Amino acid sequence: MIHSPISPAIFYWGTPVVLVTTTNEDGTANIGPMSSAWWLGDRCVLGLEGNSQTTINLLRTKQCVLNLPDETMVSNINALARTTATVEIPDVKIKLGYRYDGNKFKTSRLTQQKSAKVIPPRIQECPVQMEAEVSGVHELMKDGPSAIKGFLLAVEVKVLQTYVDEKLRLEGHVNRIDSDKWRPVIMSFQNLYGLKAGQLAESTLADIDEENYRLPV
C-alpha cells in the first residue's frame, strides 16, 4: 500500500442522506437535503451552512424532522438537488447553480405527514422519521479567515420521537432495527450509494445488548 498526500475540497467519506423538514416564516414546509449528520445517544449533529433556509428555520423555530430516505428514493433526492427556499439566493449558491423553489414537496413528489411533537411535517415516504428540537449551535472554523465567519455551523438536535416502517423492526425486539433490512442512501464524494446486501462480517460489538447504550433520561 502506497500513500500519497492530497488536499481534498470535501471530506465526504460516506454519510447517510437526511431530508430535514423545517417551517418557513410563512408557515409552509421546507425540505433541506443534507448528509453531514451523525448521531450519539438521542442527539444528532447537523453540519449546515449558516445561510441555508434549513438553518435559518432551525435557528428561528428550534424544530425539525430528520427524515431518512432509503435506496428507492434516489429520484426524490435528486429532484431536490440545487434547490433553495431562500428567496435571495446567496452568491455562493448562484455560482453552484441553485434555484429558488417554494414548494419542495411538489418538486420532489413527496407527501407531508403530520408530526406529533413538532410543527414541521414528516415525510411519509421515508421509512425513518425523527422529530427533533435544537439543543445547541456551535460555530465551526472560528480559527479560519474572516470571510467564512459564521458560514458553517454544527447544529445539535435532540430526538423527541422516532418512527420507523414496521418492516424495519427486528423480530422479537420492541426498539431495535433489523440492519439487514435497512437500506439508507449514502453520500460519498457527491455521489449516491447504497449498502451491499448482507454484513461484511459479524461485529464483536454486536454481542453487547443494545439497551446498554441507552442514556439516562
Encode the chain (217 residues) as per-residue pLDDT tens digits.
999 998 988 888 999 999 999 999 999 999 999 999 999 999 999 999 998 999 999 999 999 999 999 999 999 999 998 888 888 888 878 887 888 888 999 999 999 999 999 999 999 999 999 999 999 999 998 887 877 777 899 999 999 999 999 999 999 999 999 999 999 999 998 889 998 766 655 665 566 677 776 766 6
CA distance linking residue 16 with residue 212, whole number of Å = 24
Q: Where are the domains of the chain?
A: 15-201
* Spatial contact of 158 and 131, defined as CB atoms under 8 Å apart: no
CA distance linking residue 52 with residue 33, whole number of Å = 11
Q: How far is residue 44 from each of residues 31, 152, 171, measured CA to CA in Å?
A: 17, 16, 26
Phi, psi of 115 (to 5 degrees): -90, 165
Q: Which fold has domain 15-201?
A: Pnp Oxidase; Chain A (2.30.110)
Q: Name 141's Cβ contacts closer than 8 Å, sequence gap at least 6.
A: 148, 151, 152
Whole-model pTM above 0.85? yes
Phi, psi of 136 (to 5 degrees): -175, 150
